[in-house]
A and B are shown apart, each in its own frame.
Chain A
């Protein structure tokens, strides 16, 4: 009975979200729509990193590298020969890539798969490392990817980057893929693979003793995470229509890490909420970087002041709410209903916290 009710709520919520996306596509002005779509892309990126950092306990700092791979592969596969010719004025593009132009969706999948392959090849050796060592190794590989992209002049057009990518990342595409990603994560985390990943995160020795191939589990998580990072990177490229290696520096990875920590490592809901919050704030706090007049105080424009605000935000979260917005819990209807009930009763018997009731049931995509 109750489960059915929750499923009904879920269906209604999904319809409302879908409707909102449709309405947004029609009524938002281009700037706001761009921010709105960026939210979806950041949801994909945050969830793919959370799969590693939050669910498998692998502290990776190499996300930008995999995004770059996806963005470049998809760009090179979808750009028209003319626009490639315009881009490659320093050195001509390698012949095999010159005339390839395939539709967007196959290109997106190939971008993800290429990124996954790179992730697999990098992951297989470095996943023998743990904790900080792994973080440094992933960071190093991400930088290597960036340097390689900068120097493969005839393939990637080097530091000039690529301009005039087809604008394929429409509202429906990015939110569609984001929805798919959320669904994928929910399904994965409820499967035996998700359980194995969480077991490895909590205690890899015990996981091994339970017959779980720890190394294989880690490589699987790393590869899958790279796949989605590649897809996210590709979508990003097709949204801003310009990519260059400088886009994919460590500060981009840091931004994604910030979202994951802010939302709560190991919480799908948290990553979604934090991705939206971060993207929206990032755009609307832009005025901080510009010259300001506040009563008698006049400040010159300080590029990067936004990041100071974000760093402070991160510190506040780390100090006061170490487990992030969602604290590792997931959204559930029972929690919402209990919370409302409790509010109605106003303080009678608040023994168990609302999230605790049954965090596994009636999730957003139950």
Chain B
């Protein structure tokens, strides 16, 4: 078992009377690819939002490298090394492709206001480095030619990849992908699987992903957690999950007599 990078302890999120996530206990080891699956409305994205600080959990803890990061602000969590993408693509539509990635690089540029506005040498150097890094990232995913295009003018699949690249630009150790294969056809999903594997190896990443495409999940994940109505109903390797009666029930339902 590799060293645990990201884990949660009894993480619970309630909205009024609705418990969206209930007692979530996950544990993700270094360089693992872990999936979070479940029917619509199971609380997967809510779990992501709590882990990345977008929501304050009702109770429970989020631990990153044994450090309690529960309730930290989203930008602080990103600075610590957890980056994410969104289910509905959220690119900066007023910026071009390269600039979108550079926003992710802002952390590494970190300069004083005057140093930045006066373009002092230290700032220039860091910016040049960041731009080179951003371009190298874009080249890796084949978006270098589109660097100066408007981000939202790209085809859907490329926008998804750009979002991942933008997250990578923050130089994370953990990458959270919220439905990276949404809206993709089988071939694109297959490419995406390879892409995720490549990312993990090349950037020494730990990946936690939400996905609906079973093909993708089964093909790419080392471990799976299954949520239904906020409750973790199963976890284990893909083969075990596929046979788990509870999981099949959650996805397909049972009739009153209990027949599947």
Contacts from A to B (Cβ < 8 Å): 184, 187-188, 190-193, 195-196, 198-199, 201-203, 205-214, 220, 266, 328, 358, 360
- A97 CA / B76 CA spacing, docked (Å): 45
A256–B62 CA distance with the chains assembled, in angstroms: 47
Does B92 lie within 8 Å of A199, measured CB to CB? yes
Say yes or no: B106 contacts A184, CB within 8 Å: no
Chain A neighbourhood of B102, CB < 8 A: 192, 195
**B91 is an interface residue with CB less than 8 A from chain A:** yes
Chain B's closest residue to A196 (CB) is: B106
Q: Taking beta carbons and an 8 Å cutoff, which residues of B are in contact with A?
A: 52, 54, 73-75, 78-79, 83-84, 86, 90-96, 99, 102-104, 106-107, 109-111, 113, 116-119, 123, 127, 148, 166-167, 169-170
Are A191 and B83 within 8 A (Cβ)? no
Q: How far is B103's CA from A211's CA once the two chains are assembled, in angstroms? A: 9
Given contacts A198-B95, A206-B90, are A193 and B113 in contact (CB under 8 A)? Answer: yes
**A196, B170: Cα distance in complex, Å:** 13
Q: Is the CB of B109 within 8 A of A192?
A: yes
Asked if A210 and B90 make an inter-chain contact with CB atoms under 8 angstroms apart, the answer reads no
Given that A195-B102, A202-B93, A205-B90 are contacting pairs, would A211 and B79 also be in contact in the complex, using a CB cutoff of 8 Å? yes
Given A209-B52, A209-B84, A212-B103, do A192 and B95 touch, yes or no (CB 8 Å)? no
Q: Residue on A with the closest CB to B92? A: A202
Tell which of A187, A193, A210 touches B166, judged by Cβ atoms closer than 8 Å: A210
B111 touches A209 (CB 8 A): no
How far apart are the CA atoms of A210 and B92 in the complex, in Å?
A: 11
Chain B: minimal CB distance from A332 (Å): 12
| B116-A206 in contact (CB<8A) | no
Chain A nearest Cβ from B165, distance in angstroms:
12
State how many angstroms separate the Cβ of B170 from the closest Cβ of chain A. Answer: 5
Instruction: Establish whether residues A208 and B95, one from each chain, have CB atoms under 8 Å apart when the complex forms.
Output: no
Smallest beta-carbon distance B99→chain A, Å = 6
Residue ID in chain A nearest B104 by CB atoms: A210
Question: Which residues of the partner chain B approach A266 to less than 8 Å between Cβ atoms?
Answer: 94
Interface pair B111/A203, CB less than 8 Å apart: no
When chains A and B are docked, how far (Å) is the Cα of A1 from the Cα of B110? 32
CB distance from A145 to the nearest CB of B (A): 25
The reply to whether A210 and B95 contact each other, CB–CB distance below 8 Å, is: no
Do A199 and B103 touch (CB < 8 A)? yes
- State A193–B112 Cα separation when bound (angstroms): 9
8 extra interchain contacts, Cβ-Cβ under 8 A, other than A208-B54, A209-B90?
A192-B102, A193-B117, A198-B92, A205-B90, A208-B78, A210-B75, A210-B106, A328-B94
Chain B's closest residue to A214 (CB) is B75
Is the CB–CB distance between B95 and A211 below 8 Å? no
From A195, A196, A209, B83 is in contact (CB under 8 Å) with A209
Partner of A209, one of B78, B96, B113, B118: B78
Contact between chains at A191 and B119 (CB < 8 Å): yes
The residue of chain B having its C-beta at the shortest distance from the C-beta of A206 within the complex is B90
Known contacts being A193-B113, A358-B148, is A208 close to B119, with CB within 8 Å?
A: no
CB distance from A188 to the nearest CB of B (A): 5
* A29 CB to nearest chain B CB (Å): 38
Contacts A/B (CB < 8 Å), 26 sampled: A188-B117, A192-B111, A192-B116, A193-B113, A193-B116, A195-B95, A198-B92, A198-B95, A198-B99, A202-B92, A203-B91, A205-B54, A206-B91, A207-B103, A208-B54, A208-B78, A209-B78, A209-B167, A210-B83, A210-B170, A211-B79, A211-B83, A212-B103, A213-B73, A214-B75, A220-B113
